[in-house]
Amino acid sequence: MAFFLSIHLLLFLLLFNSSTTSPLHPLLALNCTSPEPQSIKINRFTKIILDDLSAKATPTRFATSPTIVQLNHYKGLMQCRLGLSVSDCILCIGTARRAVIRHCPNSEAITAWFDGCCVYYYNHKKISHPIHIAKLSESKPTHAKDLGQFSSALNTLLLQLRASVSLASHQGFYQGDIVYGNGGGKIYAVAECVKSVSAKECETCVAEAINKLYDCCAKQGGVVAAGSCVVQFDSYKFYSLRASNADVSDSAEIRSNVHDSNDTGNRNDIKKKVIWTWCAGVACFAGVVVATWLLRRKIVNTAKVANVREASFDE
């Protein structure tokens, strides 16, 4: 009895953990075309395209995919940041899929940047190239303690990013850090381009994003998404940390936390398996109890019959 109770308690704990843990990857920037009248049909196309890209990008962290759906030719790309772990890449891809379906369910073209991955697709018969994201910037409200030394160090770090991101060996990605001030302050930065652009296009895009950073974000942290690239900097090592759980706001498109529908489906599958396993365990336990009771009853009845026969023989 204690053995079965221990199994059921373990299964409950696994079920509880699977339903309460869900790292997130914030949405940095998103753009999509206006909804089409046939919303349900386009939404189905969107899911087919994203499922195709997700399946191909999961093992390799990068995928381009021409997809034909009912004579509509879609071209798409999905990639994860080079410094991202495989598990976080999978989570980010799932988050991207959910966010696009949620925010742009009726669009024939989307471009979206997340903290860890990016995705775009477009209907090649109607649109000749991926749609761009207008230079979107965000700055932290907190100022650095030593703004002069901070600005000098940030300038050096961003120049390093610009010079390094376009190198062939870096594959359109570079991350770095720099120390400033007597207090040992540190700045971390990342620059990344989609792999479909050339090294020159990548360098140009990053340079434009850095110029935008200078205009908007002379504070402690900032991010600029400029179409085919994104540049971020902050006072902590943001690119090695997972985002924490947060509430999802329907109206938030920038820095919104979006749960992955695939994760939700996986958790539901786990719940179903745990429930079925628990039920099977209960059924097996009940079967053992019933079988033991029947066996004991048979033994008792057999003993009674034997006693009756023995008594008859003695008479």
Q: Which whole number is the average pLDDT over 226-231?
A: 86
Q: Name the band, by pLDDT with cuts 50, 70 and 90, for residue 308.
A: very low
pLDDT at residue 10 is higher than 60: no
What is the per-residue pLDDT across 50-80, written as a single tens digit (0 to 9) for each?
A: 888 888 888 888 888 777 666 667 888 999 9
What is the per-residue pLDDT across 153-197, written as a single tens digit (0 to 9) for each?
A: 999 999 999 999 988 888 889 999 999 887 778 999 999 999 888
pLDDT at residue number 44: 72
pLDDT at residue 221 is higher than 60: yes
pLDDT at residue number 147: 77
Residue recorded with tokens 């994203």 = 50
Supply 314's token pair: 């003695």
pLDDT at residue 205 is higher than 80: yes
Cβ atoms of 230 and 25 closer than 8 Å: no
Q: What are the contacts of 240-246 at 24+ separation with CB within 8 A?
A: 240/83, 242/23, 242/24, 242/88, 242/91, 243/23, 243/24, 243/25, 243/26, 243/115, 244/23, 244/24, 245/22, 245/23, 245/24, 246/24
In whole numbers, what is the pLDDT of the chain averaged over residues? Answer: 70
pLDDT at residue 106 is higher than 80: no
Q: Name the band, by pLDDT with cuts 50, 70 and 90, for residue 296.
A: low
For residue 265, give every residue at least 6 positions away whose Cβ sits within 8 Å of its Cβ, in sequence order, or none. none
Share of the chain above pLDDT 90, in %: 16
Amino acid code (one letter) for 71: L
Residue 124 per-residue DSSP state:
T
Query: How many angstroms from the chain centroid is the CA of residue 108?
Result: 22
Q: Which whole number is the average pLDDT over 119-131?
A: 77
Domains of the chain: 23-131 (3.30.430.20), 134-242 (3.30.430.20)
Residue 24 per-residue DSSP state:
B
Residue 126 per-residue DSSP state:
T
Question: Closest Cα partner for 113 from 47, 213, 191?
Answer: 191
Cβ atoms of 75 and 124 closer than 8 Å: yes
pLDDT at residue number 59: 82
Across 12-61, the runs of DSSP E, i.e. the strands, are 27-32
Q: Name which residue leads in pLDDT, 249 or 276.
A: 276
pLDDT at residue number 220: 75
pLDDT at residue number 143: 60
pTM of the full structure:
0.62
Residue 243 per-residue DSSP state:
B
pLDDT at residue 311 is higher than 80: no
Cβ atoms of 150 and 144 closer than 8 Å: yes
For residue 270, give every residue at least 6 positions away whose Cβ sits within 8 Å of its Cβ, in sequence order, or none. 14, 15, 18
pLDDT at residue number 168: 82
Give whichever of 82-86, 128-132, 246-250 has the largest mean pLDDT: 82-86
